[in-house]
């Protein structure tokens, strides 16, 4: 498989940040950790990986803008291009020694998502996608799962810790979807949830209260694997609402319907 120059830059960057995360994963007990909000931890590992990504991408594509989880927005001279970066998606897993975490890098051109790379260094799984060029896991072309019935489907979700007593809506959704599927999975990394949908490992995924950096690369991945990704109303306001629903065409449609049910 021949990778484009753009994907190569993103892959080299993600791998370099991945080596940094792998080193830190080997000695998580020594990392300094702080709390940004309820259940939202950040460690030196997140910050180091983000610095590597920022430096590498700035050098390879001078002037591009950035939106990063830890560093926020950086306006470049080139307002047409923006990197959307989560240096460590799944920090809670990482800090607990659970090898389910990833680096997520996406590129927006004139407001359109055009490329995504998601890398889980602990499993050495590299997901790449470029608009119009398909999605890949390492060298293998990806395709969303073919299951069409929600009752056969394994569906991923996430339940953010928003503080005591603030889980009501997520629990109602969970109850509505759970009864209609073959199983629910909760990986703890939205980027990997979307990558798994692209790979056909999970049939669908939904989550509320996500940020652009959690989803950007995953959205490209699922679409390039033939899947559908929208907000909860079936529209394109995913970043604006922070709500995402993904799957193949049939599962995506069924999920939207189930999530719209009474009691929510």
Alpha helices in the chain (DSSP H): 5-25, 44-60, 91-95, 168-178, 190-198, 212-224, 238-241, 249-259
Nearer to ligand 2AM among residue 68 and residue 225 (C-beta) = 68
Q: Which does 173 bind (CB under 5 to 8 A by kind): ligand 2AM, Ca ion, none?
A: none
Residue with token string 């939904």: 206
39 forms part of the interface with ligand 2AM (CB under 6 A) = yes
38 forms part of the interface with ligand 2AM (CB under 6 A) = yes
Q: Minimum distance between the CB of residue 185 and ligand 2AM, rounded to whole angstroms?
A: 11
Q: Which of 50, 89, 130, 231 binds Ca ion (CB under 5 A)?
A: 89
207 forms part of the interface with Ca ion (CB under 5 A) = no
Confirm or deny that 214 is annotated as ligand binding.
yes
Q: Which of 24, 86, 203, 207 binds Ca ion (CB under 5 A)?
A: 86
- Integer-rounded Cα Rg, in Å, for the chain is 17
Q: Minimum distance between the CB of residue 141 and ligand 2AM, rounded to whole angstroms?
A: 25
d(C-alpha 145, C-alpha 202), whole Å: 7
d(C-alpha 87, C-alpha 102), whole Å: 8
Q: Minimum distance between the CB of residue 227 and ligand 2AM, rounded to whole angstroms?
A: 18
Angstrom CA distances, 30 to 40, 121, 230, stand at 19, 19, 40
DSSP 22-86: HHHHTTGGGS-EEEEETTEEEEHHHHHHHHHHHHHHHHHSTTEEEEETTTEEE--SEEEEEEEEE
Nearer to ligand 2AM among residue 103 and residue 147 (C-beta) = 103
Residue nearest ligand 2AM, CB atom distance: 158
Confirm or deny that 88 is annotated as ligand binding.
yes
State which H helix or E strand residue 112 sits in: strand 112-120
Q: Minimum distance between the CB of residue 157 and ligand 2AM, rounded to whole angstroms?
A: 8
Q: Minimum distance between the CB of residue 68 and ligand 2AM, rounded to whole angstroms?
A: 11
Residue 229 in contact with residue 216, Cβ under 8 Å? no
* Positions 50 through 69 that interact with Ca ion (CB under 5 A): 69
Of 185, 172, 176, 232, the residue nearest 208 (C-alpha):
232
| Interacting residue ranges for Ca ion, rule: CB under 5 A | 40, 69, 86, 88-89, 214
Pick out the residues of the known binding site for Mg(2+).
69, 86, 88-89, 214
| Interacting residue ranges for ligand 2AM, rule: CB under 6 A | 37-40, 69, 86, 89-91, 158, 160-161, 188-190, 207, 209, 214
């Amino acid at each position: 498989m021949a990778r484009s120059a753009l994907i190569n830059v993103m892959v080299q960057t993600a791998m370099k940040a991945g080596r940094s995360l792998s080193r830190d994963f080997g000695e998580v007990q020594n990392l300094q950790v702080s709390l940004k909000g309820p259940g939202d931890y950040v460690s030196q590992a997140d910050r180091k990986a983000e610095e590597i990504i920022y430096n590498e991408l700035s050098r390879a594509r001078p002037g591009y803008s950035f939106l990063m989880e830890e560093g926020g927005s950086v306006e470049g001279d080139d307002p047409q291009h923006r990197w959307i970066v989560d240096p460590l998606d799944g920090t809670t897993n990482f800090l607990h020694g659970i090898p389910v975490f990833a680096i997520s890098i996406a590129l927006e051109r004139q407001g359109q998502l055009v490329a995504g790379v998601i890398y889980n260094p602990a499993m050495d799984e590299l997901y790449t996608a470029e608009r119009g060029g398909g999605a890949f896991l390492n060298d293998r072309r990806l395709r969303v799962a073919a299951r069409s019935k929600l009752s056969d489907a394994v569906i991923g979700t996430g339940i953010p810790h928003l503080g005591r007593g603030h889980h009501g809506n997520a629990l109602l959704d969970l109850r509505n979807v759970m009864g209609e599927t073959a199983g629910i999975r909760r990986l703890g990394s939205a980027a990997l949830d979307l990558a798994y949908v692209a790979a056909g490992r999970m049939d669908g995924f939904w989550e509320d209260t996500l940020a652009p950096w959690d989803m950007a690369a995953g959205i490209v991945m699922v679409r390039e694997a033939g899947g559908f990704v929208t907000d909860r109303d079936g529209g394109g306001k995913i970043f604006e609402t922070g709500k995402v629903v993904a799957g193949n065409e049939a599962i995506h449609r069924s999920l939207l319907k189930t999530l719209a049910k009474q009691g929510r």
